[in-house]
Amino acid sequence: MNKYSFENRVAVVTGGAQGFGYAISKRIIESGGKVIIWDIDKSAIDKAKKEINSNNFHSQEVDIIDFKNIEKAINDIETKFGKIDIFVNNAGMTGMNAKVWEYPLDEWKKVIDLNLNATFYCCRAIVPHMIKNNYGRIINIASIAGKEGNPNASAYSTSKAGVIGLTKSLGKELADKNIAVNCVTPAAAKTRIFDQMTEEHINYMLSKIPRNRFAKVDELASLVCWLASEENSFSTAAVFDLSGGRATY
């Protein structure tokens, strides 16, 4: 396993207590970085803290669909640690599986709020701090669904397509600074997010992956850690595929 140096680096990972976020947080900590995970699941935070068992593990209960809550959390981190170098927008949900014309309006809003609006809120809040420090790495976790559009998952697909567009816009806006903004488009992985999907939809996603298996959380963590490292000094406003060969572009 390659190790990147995150000594003296401070990272925030949203949805960091489980799944992709947990794997990313663990990898950064193992490479010497400090991680503050944001999650609203207190029991999951406690479990992650016990398992990782490191002085570099920190947590905050943050509701990322509340912009003021985000701003307060960031200011608290800056007060305690002096800076935030890395921000990983990982928290998200799939929403229910249904046809567009049958999709409940409140469910649509819930998915868009968490997957897209919250990612925008976090980027909007953290960028001024990174500009001030003239350093930053922002990694947004999108999805192959944002490229290709999964049937019966219109809210999720739309929200992740929005994350891709946001990444490209913000990366270009910050290209003259030492701040890289990129996103990753993974295929599905067996995490708790599967609990939100029908068995039919899970089987559909697997059938689309040429490698004939789901992604592993550690595979995503590996790519994210490179994007979060100082070695990534040129790539920005880019989309990195992790779909096992599914992506057609």
Rounded to an integer, what distance in angstroms lies between the CA atom of residue 49 and that of residue 231?
Answer: 28
Closest CA to 189 of 141, 122, 149: 141
Closest CA to 4 of 202, 227, 234: 227
Q: Is 204 a catalytic residue?
A: no
From the candidates 22, 156, 204, 249, give the one annotated as an active-site residue.
Answer: 156
Rounded to an integer, what distance in angstroms lies between the CA atom of residue 21 and that of residue 26?
Answer: 9
Residue 82 DSSP class = S
Q: Which pair of structure tokens corresponds to residue 32?
A: 């010497």
Angle in degrees, CA 173, 4, 39, rounded to 5: 65
Catalytic residues: 156
